[in-house]
Amino acid sequence: MEKMLIVFFLYLSAICFGQKIATLEDGTRIILYPNKSWQLESEVVMAQKSQTHTSGFLVNRDEYSTVYADKLNQTQLVDFPKKNLEVIDYIDGNFLLRSDNGRLGYVSEYSVDNDADAKKNVLNKIIENAWKEGKSLQIRNIKIEEINSASGVDFSIEWIYTNPKKKIKYIYFTVVPYNEVGDIQTCDISGHASFTGKVTGPISTDSPHNETYWSTAWYNSTISLELLT
């Protein structure tokens, strides 16, 4: 079993100006909505592309479950169909579903029938599509979990390992935080901006979906609490 080193430079940030598009220092573009929610521009493009990479798995949602237009669960969709919804994606505890008339919506994984089977099926499809595109890892979600009373910042990364041919020993994630106006922040104690977190395996597609949590990666109360991806 070979050791594999994968380093990613990711960005924890929040831009809440009010409308249209903001661009971070590294060139990342963020779409800003009138209700102050936002998404990565690349994520919106990915969601559009995902409509051609469906899981082929149909589910029904609970009669009383709420469907949202975004995975931040901020914009509620009304009169969303309940039956024969196709699973498009799974991220941060939510399914992205498509109705037979083409509507898209996010719903909690616990509010659809056969949720465990749907999750397994869509993750297998993600692995298959990523591997066809030559990718061994997908970052699904990054978020600040908590800033404690001492300004210690905890964060997590939701990720999927997609290489069916190799088990690996380690993955390293290098992350840089931003504040709410898009400025890179540093740790008040170490003075460093970047934080590198290690994940110890074995890592394989046998357990592809993971969420890794790091405590007190930085000490800085101005780092944004908003969800990134």
pLDDT at position 186: 93
Structure letter (DSSP) for residue 136: S
- 227 domain-assigned: no
- Reply yes or no: is the peptide bond before residue 34 cis, omega within 30 of 0: no
- From CA 14, how far away is CA 179, in angstroms rounded? 6
Q: If you write DSSP's letter for every residue of 165-216 in order, what string do you get?
A: T--EEEEEEEEEEB-TBS-B---TTT--S-EEEEEEEEE-TTS-EEEEEEEE
Q: Is 128 helix (H, G, I), strand (E, B) or coil?
A: helix
- 224 located within any domain: no
What integer pLDDT is reported at residue 54 of this predicted model? 63
What are the pLDDT digits (tens) for 49-90?
554 456 678 888 888 788 988 776 678 888 888 888 988 888
Catalogue the E-assigned strands of the chain.
7-12, 20-23, 29-32, 38-40, 58-59, 67-68, 76-77, 85-91, 94-98, 104-108, 137-147, 152-161, 168-177, 195-203, 209-219
Find, among 105, 107, 121, the residue nearest to 51 by Cα. 105
Q: Which domain holds residue 172?
A: 7-219
Q: How many domains does the structure of the chain reveal?
A: 1
Is 1 within a domain? Answer: no
Q: How many residues make up the chain in this entry?
A: 229
Q: Is 130 inside a domain boundary?
A: yes
Give the pLDDT of the chain (229 residues) as one tens digit per residue: 344 444 344 444 333 233 467 777 777 776 665 544 555 666 555 555 554 456 678 888 888 788 988 776 678 888 888 888 988 888 888 888 888 878 888 998 888 888 888 888 888 888 888 888 888 888 888 888 889 999 999 999 988 888 888 888 989 999 888 887 778 899 999 999 999 999 998 898 887 778 899 999 999 999 875 533 3
> Do the Cβ atoms of 214 and 156 come closer than 8 Å?
yes
For residues 82 and 103, the answer to whether their CB atoms sit within 8 Å is no
In a domain, 161, yes or no: yes
Domain membership of residue 2 (yes or no) is: no
Domain assignment present for 168: yes
Compute φ and ψ for 142, nearest 5 degrees.
Answer: -135, 135
- Tally Cβ neighbours within 10 Å of residue 172: 13
User: Does 229 fall in a domain?
Assistant: no
